[in-house]
Structure 1
Amino acid sequence: MTRDEKLEAGLAKARTLIRQSARQGNFTLAHEDPDYVPQGDIYRNAQVFHRSYLLMERLFKIFIYKEGESPIFHNGPCKSIYSMEGVFLSIMETDTKFQTWDPREAHVFFLPLSVVMIIELLFDPIIRDKAVLERIIVDYVHLISHKYPYWNRSLGADHFMLSCHDWGPRATWYVPQLYFTSIRVLCNANTSEHFNPKKDASLPEINLVTGEIANLTAAGGSPPSNRIILAFFAGAMHGRIRPALFHHWKDKDKDVQVYERLPDGLSYHEMMKKSKYCICPSGHEVASPRIAEAIYAECVPVLISQHYVLPFSDVLNWESFTVRVSVDEIPNLKKILLEIPEDMYVRMQKRVKQVQRHFVVNDPPKRYDVFHMIIHSIWLRRLNFQINM
């Protein structure tokens, strides 16, 4: 058996073990975990997730192409709403847990480019010629596909790129195999723009305003009995959904507090921490950093979006700890929230606290945190196909 055949055989065995765990209800009890045993309604199937996660930790290997120079490659922003590009690139380059230096041992291959850095450093804001994306990405794929055999062997299916920029999907247009075949890990996980959940993975948008991880991810908030605001939102009016939210609720109700700009003396994060529900509408793009911010503040997210594939949704049961409201239901938002029984709200809020660990950014990373959940999403996509040798 060749090395490639052994890799595929190992993945086939992992698929079998994961399927078996779906039929073994006592798996999590039989496999103790020193850090955390997934249990409860926040998961689609806690046993399946746990088995898959442990197999990922034991087996999964990623090769990072060394070609490309910083700051366009191997680098990215570690603050702003695009921070997950830089955070992931930084951790991936420095943390060796999943990394292999031998491409023959790799299950997937990482293209370490940053769309944010391409736009910031090479895009002319006056001419606005997006061809710069085409030149960089086409040239890079051409380089690695001619230097290594791995891209052509799988037609790019076992390769992945990651981007939190709005133009992340656009950046992949110029290489059809990257667009249609490769794994794209994107904040802009919009199915109306050909995001394919079977092969693409949704990346949470996390706004590290100052670049300091501890400043944002310090979790906590008031207990349910002390949350005096029914629902809260503050943010700019853009996109297709927010104008309707402002039309119906801005300056209209003391229980549903909607602001385009917070009044002096009010703290955005403190308002979230004393609200029962935090409204998370899409803006220009489907993703919103408010979802993670609500989870950090232990505030039940109210999701208002269209065509959005939520992060880690093949593992997490978002219905158990969030409220979904359609655009047409925005006028009835207060009525919808008031009709949720108090005991149901308390259960949802408790689940929000439980799911926090999967959205926290750590450097160095910790098991089950957002970095590991992203890696697990990539692992699941790699399990979705087999390379024919």
Structure 2
Amino acid sequence: MIGQKKKRGVEGVEEDLAQARAAINEAIRMRRHGREDRFIPRGSIYRNSYAFHQSHIEMVKRFKVWTYREGEQPLVHAGPFKDIYAIEGQFIAEMESETNPFMASHPDEAHTFFIPISVANIVDFVYMPITNYSRDQLQNVVSDYISVVANKYPYWNRSNGADHFMVSCHDWGPDVSSGNPQFFKNFIRVLCNANTSESFQPGRDVPMPQFYGPAHRLASPNYGQPPNNRPILAFFAGGAHGEIREMLLDHWKGKDNEVIVHEYLPKGQNYTKLMGQSKFCLCPSGFEVASPRVVEAIYAGCIPVIISNNYVLPLSDVFDWSQFSVSVSVDKIPEIKTILQAIPDWKYLKMQKRVRGLLRHFLLDRPSRPFDVIHMILHSVWLRRLNFKLPT
């Protein structure tokens, strides 16, 4: 009805989400893409392009996030902007930016609540130099912060944390809640280290892509060669971090002129150039499951070869990774060349084209833009919020 006031509080938030669910279900039923975007997601890289497109439209139109303002830097409201945990700091900064369109003006209008804690900064400022690997101090910092906001506001307690989330790319990210699993049983953890053997729960938690920052290093993903100018079958260069990489280096380091594997790149060779000249880029887990090589491969137009156990791949609630990557189990490392050579040219060309089409979703823009990686991470949180209702 014209002039009808929008409902406030839980009732208004849930009504908003109900309208979004209805629009998404209608798009799925009618197999119809939304009409409110210049970009239309199509193709097999998406699990359901109709659902994703309408969901993204609804998110941009409706989604509001309240970022708690309690606490001081560096443990909260700040994070790393460079090296392998860069996405953690970039995401926190984006959420706290005055230009963030998802910022709620009042917590009563928020669909979700962001805990702006940086695990990477806690490790750097509380543990360094690391002499004690106990996670107690990390867990205490997170629990104390949430206790402060839970005592000050009603929002954590009314949902038991189910509409609250945090972001961490540090290896220790999964451990923030293990000290008090009952308290954190509904809490959404957005993690690079999306390891199901370390308590990651795909239906609740969000697998996040890992970047090697700073952002300007990623600004020009144009070094990949066309598919007919990639003489290297497969490429990897990296340290012997963990058992999987040790196995890879043991079987392939310096032993083949088509599967090129280095522990240390020879002097004078360029890492990104070699990725851009390779058909397949090997992405083995290190000490933990995630690796920035997955994103680097996408930037290079190189098909990622995932060598890992228990790894939930980034943004996999939207993307069908089987359409543009190859998964090799750890016990098949000696057979990598045979596996990759068995992929026919027509299939490789299709997969490589899909990798190129995937790039827009892994661009790290500041400020963020629709369909880039920060929007995609938020979209995964949005999906989880759509999956439950607060009592009204």
TM-score with structure 2 length normalisation? Answer: 0.95
1:111 equivalent to 2:115? Answer yes
Deviations along 1:352-385, one digit per CA (max 9) or x if unpaired, are 1110111111111121100100110100011111
Q: Which residue of 1 aligns with 2:287?
A: 284
User: Which stretch shows the higher mean deviation, 332-341 or 127-136?
Assistant: 127-136
Question: Of 335, 339, 352, which aligns to 2:342?
Answer: 339
RMSD (CA atoms): 1.4
Q: Which residue of 2 aligns with 1:214?
A: 216
CA distance in 2, matches of 1:224, 1:187: 29
1:225 equivalent to 2:231? Answer no
Residues 103 and 294 of structure 1: is their aligned pair in 2 closer, same or farther, counting only changes over 3 Å?
A: same
Deviations along 1:47-72, one digit per CA (max 9) or x if unpaired, are 11000000000110000000010111
The alpha-carbon deviation at position 340 of structure 1 amounts to 0.7
The alpha-carbon deviation at position 343 of structure 1 amounts to 1.2
* Secondary structure class of the residue paired with 2:339: helix
Q: Which residue of 1 aligns with 2:136?
A: 131
Structure 1, unmatched stretches of 5+, are none
* Secondary structure class of the residue paired with 2:178: coil
Question: Of 12, 20, 30, which aligns to 1:6?
Answer: 12
Asked if structure 1 preserves the Cα contact closer than 8 Å seen for 2:218 and 2:364, the reply is no
1:70 equivalent to 2:103? Answer no
Q: Which residue of 1 aligns with 2:258?
A: 255
Asked if structure 2 preserves the Cα contact closer than 8 Å seen for 1:137 and 1:174, the reply is no
Deviations along 1:135-163, one digit per CA (max 9) or x if unpaired, are 31121111001000101111111100110
Question: Of 152, 159, 176, which aligns to 2:164?
Answer: 159
CA distance in 1, matches of 2:190, 2:133: 25
Asked if structure 2 preserves the Cα contact closer than 8 Å seen for 1:229 and 1:276, the reply is yes
Asked if structure 2 preserves the Cα contact closer than 8 Å seen for 1:156 and 1:177, the reply is no
Residues 333 and 157 of structure 1: is their aligned pair in 2 closer, same or farther, counting only changes over 3 Å?
A: same
Structure 2, unmatched stretches of 5+, are 1-6
The alpha-carbon deviation at position 351 of structure 1 amounts to 0.7
Written as runs of structure 1 = structure 2, the 5 A alignment for 1:44-193 is 44-94=47-97, 95-124=99-128, 125-177=130-182, 179-193=184-198
Equivalent residue letter for 1:365: S
Deviations along 1:203-241, one digit per CA (max 9) or x if unpaired, are 101011xx2x23224212110111010000000112221
CA distance in 1, matches of 2:312, 2:26: 27
Residues 258 and 62 of structure 1: is their aligned pair in 2 closer, same or farther, counting only changes over 3 Å?
A: same
CA distance in 1, matches of 2:163, 2:126: 28
Q: Which residue of 1 aligns with 2:3?
A: none
Equivalent residue letter for 2:216: A
1:384 equivalent to 2:387? Answer yes
Residues 178 and 51 of structure 1: is their aligned pair in 2 closer, same or farther, counting only changes over 3 Å?
A: farther
Q: Which residue of 1 aligns with 2:326?
A: 323
The alpha-carbon deviation at position 386 of structure 1 amounts to 1.0
The alpha-carbon deviation at position 243 of structure 1 amounts to 1.7
Asked if structure 1 preserves the Cα contact closer than 8 Å seen for 2:36 and 2:57, the reply is no
Asked if structure 2 preserves the Cα contact closer than 8 Å seen for 1:217 and 1:296, the reply is no
Equivalent residue letter for 1:155: N
* Secondary structure class of the residue paired with 1:22: helix
Equivalent residue letter for 1:214: H
Residues 177 and 373 of structure 1: is their aligned pair in 2 closer, same or farther, counting only changes over 3 Å?
A: farther
Residues 111 and 32 of structure 1: is their aligned pair in 2 closer, same or farther, counting only changes over 3 Å?
A: closer
The alpha-carbon deviation at position 107 of structure 1 amounts to 0.4
Aligned length: 383
User: Which stretch shows the higher mean deviation, 194-203 or 118-127?
Assistant: 118-127
Deviations along 1:261-285, one digit per CA (max 9) or x if unpaired, are 0101111111000000000011111
CA distance in 1, matches of 2:139, 2:318: 34
CA distance in 2, matches of 1:287, 1:343: 29
CA distance in 2, matches of 1:74, 1:258: 40
TM-score with structure 1 length normalisation? Answer: 0.95
Q: Which residue of 2 aligns with 1:19?
A: 25
